[in-house]
Amino acid sequence: MTDSPTPSPLELASRLIACPSVTPARGAVFDALEAMLKPLGFNVLRTIDGDAPSGPVENLLAVRPGPEGTRHFAFAGHLDVVPAGDGWTSDPFTPEVRGEMLHGRGAVDMKSQIAAMVAAAARIPAEAGTISFIITGDEEGPARFGTLALMEHMAARDVVPDLCLVGEPTSVARLGDMMKIGRRGSVNIWLEVHGNEGHVAYPHLADNPIPRLVAMLAELDALELDDGTDWFQPSNLEITDLEVGNPATNVIPAAARARLSIRFNDLHTGAQLSARVTEIAERHGGTARPVISGEPFLTEPGAFSALLAEAIRAETGLEPELSTGGGTSDARFLKSICPVIEFGPCNATMHKRDEAIALPDLDALVRIYERAARAALALQESFARDSR
């Protein structure tokens, strides 16, 4: 334990929530976090990365070195939040405690977790090992200049954690019922078919692109990509947009467009699926423009998941489910430098109005994060630098 008083996680979370930080976050919210970490002995690097339209993005890397030869445990997360929207009971950027709940945008996703990580780090003596914070301002945005940029700064400074815990809100019904040991990959693909415009009464003088796009989408929608694996649910392809934009009732349009999204397991890569969709699109006379936002990864169950599960059991009495479900997170990038697992509070109110975390859960998170970090720093086992 450190000699200084342990910071109050409620106070820390409230200070972060009080800083409006709609993605991409910059400025005040990073000032607040830096002010929390420096008194605990962390060396703080703040960077501005990237250009418009996806940047600039502010990021923060904080390291408290341990004795030479000790292990390195990283906490990771993001300070940016989604827009608040309307209909809140109270101001979304004025933290408010009502009953046993702390309300405010970011209370669950994920300023409270960062506050809990800071409070946990304050309880761990420097001689236990190196602790770092990998904090981005762009997880909720394009994520081009967030954690990826931070990883470049880390590589330049030879900052390489042994293990990393991301504080995403993973619990479902109760704190501790689920952790994420992997995530599916994600690719979005924009489809387009061109034809020739013309009068509907003279179809032989035109080329309608819509039937070809509809046939293309029917073939894509009928694809069964796989049946899932031991740790992953089946991959799914969803058509997410369809656009012609033709205001005239008597004109055959010149072009038709659509968009689809594929969430895929580790039987595929983004490049393979992109090539498959492109082949189908071209066969129907169209084009495909894929954007891969992440590849699937799995941190195989082992010492890391076991120590985190033990920390969760000790504080909640629950046996957490090991899951790869849900959306994606910055863990998809961090997995390339060390094994990574995600764990955080109940996700029921994230991205919703009146977002809130239960105060007992916030206090329990501090204890869970402290237990997990201490156990990770005490591990003797070596880990591969790239999770599958």
The answer to the question of whether 96 is labelled as a binding residue is no
80 catalytic? Reply is yes
CA distances from 225 to 152, 293, 334 (A): 34, 19, 27
Q: Strand, helix or coil at 261?
A: strand
- Backbone angle region of 163, left / alpha / beta, with phi > 0 → left and psi within -120 to 50 → alpha: beta
Q: Which amino acid is at 104?
A: G
Tell me the two tokens of residue 36: 């929390």
Cα(116)–Cα(345) distance, rounded to whole angstroms?
A: 11
The answer to the question of whether 351 is labelled as a binding residue is yes
Cα(74)–Cα(298) distance, rounded to whole angstroms?
A: 18
Q: Which of 80, 162, 266, 355 is catalytic?
A: 80
Q: Is the dihedral of CA 14, 15, 19, 24 positive or negative?
A: negative
Q: Does 56 sit behind a cis peptide bond, omega within 30 degrees of 0 on the bond before it?
A: yes
The answer to the question of whether 227 is labelled as a binding residue is no
Task: For residue 23, count other CB atoms closer than 10 A to its CB.
Answer: 21
Count, in order, helices (H) and strands (E) of the chain: 9, 19
HEC-encoded secondary structure of 49-66: ECCCCCCCEEEEEEEECC
The answer to the question of whether 109 is labelled as a binding residue is yes
Tell me the two tokens of residue 172: 């479902």
Q: Strand, helix or coil at 267?
A: coil
Backbone phi, psi, residue 224, to 5°: -110, 105
Name the packing angle between helices 111-122 and 9-17 (round to 10°).
Answer: 140
CA distances from 356 to 105, 275, 331, 352 (A): 8, 42, 23, 9
Q: Which of 58, 96, 138, 139 is catalytic?
A: 139
Query: 46: which residues sit within 8 A by CB, 6+ positions away?
Result: 30, 34, 58, 59, 60
Among residues 323, 342, 262, 267, the alpha carbon closest in space to that of 294 is found at 262
Which residues are identified as catalytic?
Answer: 80, 139
Annotated binding site: 78, 109, 140, 168, 351
Annotated binding site for Zn(2+): 78, 109, 140, 168, 351
